[in-house]
Amino acid sequence: MEKLVREYIENQPTARQEKLLQLYEIIQKQMPAGYDEKISYGMPTFHYHKNIIHFANFKNHIGIYPGPKAINVFKDQLEGYKTSIGAIQLPVDQPLPEDLITQIVQFNLDNV
């Protein structure tokens, strides 16, 4: 884990750190060799020739930002989540949808 991303997670409330680390690991497993991690727009960002996905902690949810194309492609699977043009709000009181996150990351990688 890149130092800046680790610091981002460590600076979040203790109760959220485990879930943010889990999200980080779900995304990181999908990334190919040669990818970069950085902080972009104040959020941990996975980059491979372009930004693949961002995530961030908020008071009442964890946001993931795969971009509008992914939101549109996965709209049926996202029906239970609050979404906007390029964002998905994951409730903090529910397990992370690992399979869905994996599919979204892979979609974005396939469309680099």
Residues 6+ positions from 79 with CB-CB distance below 8 Å: none
The domain spans of the chain are 4-111
Output the pLDDT for position 2.
85
Share of the chain above pLDDT 90, in %: 98
- The CATH architecture annotation of domain 4-111 reads Alpha-Beta Complex (3.90)
20: phi > 0 → left, psi -120 to 50 → alpha, else beta; which?
alpha
- What pTM, to 2 d.p., does this model score? 0.95
Q: How far is CA 70 from CA 23, 60, 86, 101, in A?
A: 17, 23, 8, 11
pLDDT in tens, 45-55: 999 999 999 99
pLDDT in tens, 76-101: 999 999 999 999 999 999 999 999 99
Whether 1 has a pLDDT exceeding 90, the answer reads no
